[in-house]
Structure formats: C-alpha cells, structure tokens
Structure 1
Amino acid sequence: MVLESAEILVKAGMEEAFEAAVAQAAPLFRRARGCTGMRVLRGIENPRAYRLLVQWDTLEDHTVHFRGSEDFQEWRRLAGPCFDGAPEVTHLSSVLEAF
C-alpha cells in the first residue's frame, strides 16, 4: 500500500468551493485503478490548508495510471482553480501502525 499525501493551500474565500469540488471529484478517485480509499482533512490553525490522502495499491497506480488519465484532468479542472500554488505531493509507506 502506498499513501499519497498532497498538501494543498486553497485561495482565501474558496474553501467551500474547494470542498464542493473534492466531493464532486470523489468518484474519479473511487474508480481509479488501484485506489483503495481517500480522505481530505482541513487545517485547524490554517483553514486554507488541506491534506488529501489517497491510498493506492502501487506507486504507479497513482503516478502513471491516474495522472495519465482523463479522470486526473477532470480532478484538476474541478479543484485546480481553488489552489493557491501547486500542491506538494509525497508518497509514503507504512512502517508501524499502533492504534
């Protein structure tokens, strides 16, 4: 499992529009090859800061298959106008889970 973590800063006043765009785009992620789940978190100290977390079976499911798809283009069309700069994306793998 690979966890995509995208730090997204949203333009001031566009928080509701961004959240609506994410809700509209959720099916794009759900049907993507290798996507096993997603969630979006909003900052408390900075409500313009969001974190998109997407679980993928493999790195390539995100970087090759999803990013090369029409669904990715649609995601960017929906949410991109709300971005205040490019999202910072990293990929993570689990080394410990203790809940």
Structure 2
Amino acid sequence: MAVIEHALLSVRAGSEAAFETAVDEARRLIEASPGFISMQVRRPTAAGQPYLLLVEWRSVADHQGGFRQSDRYQQWRALLHRFYDPMPEVSYFGEPL
C-alpha cells in the first residue's frame, strides 16, 4: 500500500524564490531514497499562504525509518528548513476510497 506524506510549508515572506530554487536542488535527495515514488510541491494561489508538499512513498517506514534517518535527509534539512516559519507538521494518508 502506497502512502501520501502531506505537509503545508509556511515559507518566510520574501524568500519564496530562494525556497523554490532550493526545492529543485533538494528534489534529487529525496528521489534517491528507497521507497520514494513521487513528489509534488505546489505554489500557493495567494500571497502569505503555505506551499503544499505531497510525497508518495511505498510505506510510512520508507519515509520515517529510511529517508529521515539518512544523510540525504540531513542535506534536505540544510537546504530547506531555514525557510519555514513555523516548522511544518507531516501527516500520512493511505489508499484512496
């Protein structure tokens, strides 16, 4: 069963362009992770709204025990976490109804 990781990314005002560049660089890190299927980052339609992150994984364990425990995640954090205020909360969703 595949799962969707969902997070709303509140990016500091004025740093959106730098964030989008960093996402492009960070994408290769997550794509190289076992269990990774796909990733989307969607821009907000209005200023001040969060970006939407959707990552499809084979399992929650592939994200939590795999990617988040890897050196790639440390690089991901260094690239992206400086843009968030507050830090995003991650949720997981199962198969569609």
Q: Which category of TM-score, normalised to the shorter sequence, fits these structures?
A: over 0.9
Whole-angstrom distance in 2 between the partners of 1:42 and 1:22: 12
TM-score w.r.t. structure 1 length?
A: 0.91
Q: TM-score, normalised by structure 2?
A: 0.93
Cα distance, 1:93–1:55 mapped onto 2, change above 3 Å = same
Contact 1:4/1:54, CA 8 A, preserved across alignment = yes
Calculate percent identity across the aligned residue pairs.
39
Corresponding residue for residue 30 of structure 2: 29
Q: 1:84 deviation in Å?
A: 1.1
Aligned pairs, number: 96
1:92 aligned partner: 93
> For structure 1, which runs of at least 5 residues remain unmatched after alignment?
none
Q: Deviations over 1:32-82 (max 9, x none)?
A: 010011010011134541111111001100011110011111111001111
Moved over 6 A (4+): none
| Coordinate RMSD, CA, aligned | 1.1
- Structure 2 residues without counterparts, runs of 5 or longer: none
